[in-house]
Amino acid sequence: MKWRSAVLVVLLASCLLPAANGGARAQPAPARTPEQLRYDIEEKVSRTLLVGFNGDAPDTPDTLRFITMLGRYPLGGIVVFDRNVRDAARLSGLIGQIERALPERQLAAVDEEGGAVRRLRRLREVPATPAAATVSAGSLENAFNTYATLAGSLARLGFDVNFGPVVDLDLERANPVVGGPRRSYGNDPATVAAYAGAFVRAHDVYGVATVLKHFPGHGSTRVDPHQTAVDASRSWSPREMEPFRMVIAADRPAMVMTSHIVVRSPALGQASPLPATFSGGTVATLRRQLGFKGLVVSDDITMGAMGGYPLDEVVHRALLAGHDLVILANLGTDPPARIREVITRVADRAMADPALRAAIEIASGAVDQFKRERAARLLAAGQADVSATRQREGAPPLESRQRPALLPAQPPLRALPRGGRADVLNAQRRQ
């Protein structure tokens, strides 16, 4: 985005150039000490991280250690996994306890796309959402209703973000992370965009942000990046970006997740063998060519594809590439210690690197703005009275927690181009 480039130039200039002399002007603010600068950098780095943690109830030792860490490092948000889930009451209390630990909100995220990827499968309060391939065998109306039921259950538990939908094309049945587990809506960009759009709009009804994944397209590979590095340069084609382009234009998702795959392609401005996580060209393509204006988030950097790099280096390079949020999902037995280590090491790098400091400033500012605008939208949706009632009852405020459970009227469904599968889908829409 042009504004991001302009801001980066201004921030770099402020880091590198002395102030102009002469002329009447306001007295400059006192220069910060190195200690103050470092404290500020560490806090802003923390706001760019979405982290996994241990603990499955509000009062476990793991949870309490994690909350203590938040007092120093106010994260961008948390990611809930199976290990955090015992029952609905404890999970909702756990999310609320973490969010109430700080005056500012923490985004609560989960990977609950359906099918093989269901982190909340042990909760009866969350529906057993089918895989994308199953959903796309039915009508768009049924897809919207399926995802609305899912989104409503997530909102009632207090989630802000769902890491879906998958917008990868199903181009390789031997693909162990897309085609094999039936996580794609199909191999036609328009069909994939239509069903992914239903996912996005259904979640929007309940104020749950969605995340298109995995840009620039992960459907043509035969290797699993959870285990090892993947070079898709020979199998990838620019056509894999088309469903992303369509959903971004029509449905304005809140976030897009990049993949760890390597794609060397002129279409991405990427000639060197870098994973998309490190590729400024890939992120620039997403923003400039596809017009995406939301938050760009990395895939989990504790995956095998990133195993050859220290975590702080991955965060450093992801932020320089233009990511706003970086996911650290699996941090072993002591996540707070690992998080502190990553933040302090990235801060060490930033103290000596004005470009990294500028990137951190932009990313943390974008995350803060997203949180403020999200809270304002939820309040503007007519939920203030409900929030006040919950506050009187001692519950967390609505803007950071649950939303009404009533399903509003279905938004209009987007028409598909005529021909083949699209004709069938449009016929179903008219029934």
Contacts of 56 (CB under 8 A, 6+ apart): 83, 84, 85, 86, 90, 91, 94
Q: Residue 214, preceding bond cis, omega within 30 degrees?
A: yes
Q: What is the C-alpha to C-alpha distance for residues 395 and 190, in angstroms, rounded to an integer?
A: 43
Give me 46's structure tokens: 């923390």
C-beta of residue 285 within 8 angstroms of C-beta of residue 314: no
What is the helix (H) or strand (E) element at residue 370, kind and residue range? Answer: helix 354-378
Residues present in the chain in total: 431
Check if 203 is active-site. Answer: no
Give me 11's structure tokens: 């921030």
DSSP secondary structure letter of residue 134: H
- Give φ, ψ of 210 to 5 degrees: -120, 165
DSSP secondary structure letter of residue 166: B
Residue 52 burial (C-beta neighbours within 10 Å; 0-12, 13-18, 19+): buried
C-beta of residue 53 within 8 angstroms of C-beta of residue 82: no
C-beta of residue 339 within 8 angstroms of C-beta of residue 51: yes
What is the helix (H) or strand (E) element at residue 295, kind and residue range? Answer: strand 295-300
Check if 299 is active-site. Answer: yes
Sign of CA dihedral 267, 269, 271, 275: negative
Catalytic residue among 251, 299, 312, 324: 299
Residue 345 CA to its chain's centroid (Å):
23
Catalytic residue among 87, 224, 226, 231: 226
Catalytic sites, residue numbers? 226, 299
